[in-house]
Chains A and B, each alone.
Chain A
Amino acid sequence: MLGYLLRRILAAIPVMGVVALFVFLLLRLTPGDPAAILAGDNATPEQLERIRTSLGLNEPLHIQFFTWIGKLLHGDLGVSLISNVPVLKMISQRIEPSISIALSTIVLSIVVAMPLGVIAAWRHGTWIDRFVMGLSVLGFSVPVFVIGYVLIQIFAIDLRWVPVQGFRSITAGFGPFFERIILPTCALSFIYVALIARMTRASMLDVMGEDYIRTARAKGIGEMGVLLRHGLRNAAVPVITVIGSGFALLISGVVVTESVFNLPGIGRLTVDAVLARDYPVIQAMILLTSGIYVAVNLLIDLAYTLLDPRIRY
């Protein structure tokens, strides 16, 4: 197992290398002169030349690449072209809201969706099943900003239970942190509950037709034991895949939710950077997102081996 873990981590190095190369070339191969973008529309040729020299843009491409990689490995992601703040600092300020929301959404979704899926599969074809599936269609089809505004209207404006928007760090106390992330978490969870419940139901339906479920019943085990001990554990592998890739998506791509609830997360940071052509930030975001996907995939594969003893690497 340890050997497998080591091999997988080693295998991640070339993947990240390819991503780094792509990210590097992104800036050099896009039309337009980075120095011109940096200097703005009114720069003189001398100013441009000075910027080129300071950024090393006159060096041959491979020298530029290795210099860039060297800085990257020392944690130097460059400086934002717009705000002149080091990119690493910008990301570290924005990562907490994103990770908090992603984690709480995944936890809430699992807690709600898996029982729903199991019950729907168990009562397959009854009104319970149809109700859960209907809910799931609703979760898929209503845009997240609609759900967000409805939740704000009810819980923040009408009932005044929680603030309308914003974010507080958990270091400022759990109460203020919790009352600000609960609404975005609920809003985002809708679609993930729909997804995970659907997947759990389908997977459980497959498993419940297996011979070992019949054996479990023949042993005189109660329905609960049959469903959870024999059904769910076998049905979990495909569900874990969905949960894992959902989590990766959540960290990097919840721009709409961040906008609705005015959260300073990395989703908005990315969109702002793209709109402003802030290349160092874009590069850092691509690297970060790829890193998260590689890590999550590794975790998913490890979860497989824990859940199913037949899967060995």
Chain B
Amino acid sequence: MTDIVLDINNLVVALGKQPGASRIIDDVSLRVAERETLCLVGESGSGKSVTSLTVMGLLQKGSLIPTGGSVKLVGEELLTASDRRLRQLRATRMAMIFQEPMTALNPVVPVGRQIDEVLRVHTDLDARARRRKILAMMEHVRLPDVERIFASYPHRLSGGQRQRIMIAMALVLEPKLLIADEPTTALDVTTQKQILTLIRDLQRDHGTAVLFITHDMGVVAEIADRVAVMRHGRLVESGPLDGILRNPLMEYTRNLLASVPSLVPRAPRQETNEPVVLEANELCKIYRERSFFGKAREVPAAKNVTLTLRKGRTLGIVGESGSGKSTVARCIVRLIDPTSGGVRLVGREISELSRRLLQPHRKKIQIIFQDPYRSLNPRVTIGESIAEGPINYGMPRKEALSKARELLELVHLPVDAISRYPHQFSGGQRQRIAIARALALDPEVLVADEAVSALDVSVQAQVLDLLDEIQKRLGIGLLFITHDLRVAAQICDDVVVMQHGRVVEQGPAAEVLTHPKEAYTRALLDAAPGRGWDFANFRPVAEAAE
């Protein structure tokens, strides 16, 4: 029998010590053995992160308190351990990496010194030995040019490099347990794939037990040996990967898997001869960095982007971060001014109109943003937010508010939402509100900039359905910007693949996403986690093809 490294039994974490205090973690039991990866899966608020922070002893003092059960690390009880003992165990026996490698590293200390700190606290090595060990570890996590990176500040490194630094820092003392809390969520798919492979390889070499927290079923399929599903602080079910993906026992797990959009594009819709509502022609956006003495440096964010969108159709722009997809969207909506090239909106060239002349055309194109928590003014009621646009365009207030009510119904929200404030709604509900606000001006084109990226999969599925339904009813043209190929496969008629500000490939989604012509598109598809699984049908893609 393999050794159990982490053994959590009937853990309860509550908001305070009183017996009646509400339980954030309720009776959770988990085990992770040496060389094993347990994926802890669940939607936001399910308690996965609280579980991991409890293990590390990093819960915020005084607010969240473990009130029952036990957490054992290689046989040693952690819940009753002293602060001093916990500090000794951290980095030596158990280590953790986090979601955002940018914010998880101290911005004002060179990364080499941040790793060095671990060795200074926990070992007696002298400066030279420590440096040798760190450089070796940095090479081990496949960082290039380690001497330079050792002395670099975090903001000088890419997201992937920063996460490698975090991994080097976590594993430099070869802990028995590595807790990875959504370590690849903030990374691009190709980088994500490299980091997942790295964690796998290091685990194989060192026999580390990994508790991997994620909301992404694709990642689960790539890395898990066993899976535990959590919801509302309780364990729903757990078991080996294959068992969970093929025969989930619980209704919640089935729904969770069924919500994962498939990478196989949906059946293509009939081509139409509807009029073109949006055209971008050789669109360019170049940022100039001014320099006091030297020549100005030019940074092209979008180069010669040409695309066409017909009424009632959905065009996706896909690409990794920095590919220029959001820049294109913002140029098209004229939130920023393109450097050159044209944008035709319903037959009218708008790229060179002045702000004032643009005004009457603005209502024809509306945008929904990624983060529904920040795109609604927190001090304005939902009704006012929705009605503000029409009122600006001359609609009487009473009429605008009654329109807001109709729109709330259209996006399946209760009519009484009109007098409430954004903080009273969940993320998915807020995104519905954002959609209602965009629709209030009866636009011909709706631009969705990563509009479902911040949402849990089940909510994501609902919002995608809603967009689809609205498009069918109103015949709107939808420009859908996303980094998620699964989402693109399920909603787009056509896709444009972008890299480094240029269009790499474009065509019907069914074609581009199944038979990509360009190497970059292929690399993107290859890197998509869990591409071998058809989650919604509980079987591998290979079996579905038979």
Contacts and interface: CB of A to CB of B under 8 A. Distances in A.
A233 interface: yes
A22 interface: no
Interface string B104-123: 11111100000001100110
Contacts of A221: 87, 117, 121
Contacts of B106: 212, 215-216, 230, 234
A297 to B, nearest CB: 19
A62 interface: no
B91 A310 contact: no
A220 B90 contact: yes
A89 interface: no
Given A308-B107, A309-B153, A219 B58 contact: no
B193 interface: no
Nearest to B107: A310
Interface stretch (B93-101, B391-399, B532-540): B93-101
A7 B90 contact: no
A230 B155 CA distance: 16
Contacts of B122: 220
A236 to B, nearest CB: 9
Nearest to A236: B108
A7 B292 CA distance: 9
Contacts of A71: none
Contacts of A211: 98, 100, 103-104
A218 B91 contact: yes
Contacts of B104: 211-212, 214-215
A214 B98 contact: yes
Interface string B72-107: 000000000000001111111001101010011111
A222 interface: yes
B169 interface: yes
Contacts of B100: 211
A220 B293 contact: no
Interface in A218-234: 218-222, 225, 229-230, 233-234
Given A7-B292, A309-B155, A220 B98 contact: no
B245 to A, nearest CB: 31
A32 interface: no
A219 B153 contact: no
A288 to B, nearest CB: 30
B56 interface: yes
B153 A220 contact: no
Size class of the contact patch on chain A: 20 to 34
Contact of B292 (A3, A214, A218, A308): A3
A302 to B, nearest CB: 16
A100 to B, nearest CB: 33
A220 B58 contact: no
Interface in A134-191: none
Contacts of B95: 218
A229 B109 CA distance: 9
A242 B117 CA distance: 31
Contacts of B166: 215
Contact of B89 (A3, A220, A225): A220
A280 B155 CA distance: 52
Contact of B87 (A214, A220, A229, A309): A220
A305 to B, nearest CB: 11
Contacts of A233: 108-109
Nearest to B98: A211
A212 B103 contact: yes
A310 B155 contact: yes
Contacts of B98: 211, 214-215
A218 B93 CA distance: 11
Given A3-B292, A210-B103, A220 B108 contact: no
Interface in B109-140: 109, 117-118, 121-122
Interface of A: 3, 7, 210-212, 214-222, 225, 229-230, 233-234, 307-310
9 contacts: A211-B103, A218-B56, A218-B90, A219-B91, A220-B89, A220-B122, A225-B117, A229-B109, A234-B106
Given A7-B292, A217-B58, A218-B90, 7 more contacts: A212-B103, A214-B98, A215-B105, A218-B96, A219-B117, A220-B87, A220-B122
Closest 7 pairs between A and B when the two form their complex, measured CB to CB = A220-B90, A211-B103, A212-B106, A220-B87, A309-B153, A211-B104, A220-B91
Interface of B: 56, 58, 86-92, 95-96, 98, 100, 103-109, 117-118, 121-122, 153, 155, 166, 169, 292-293
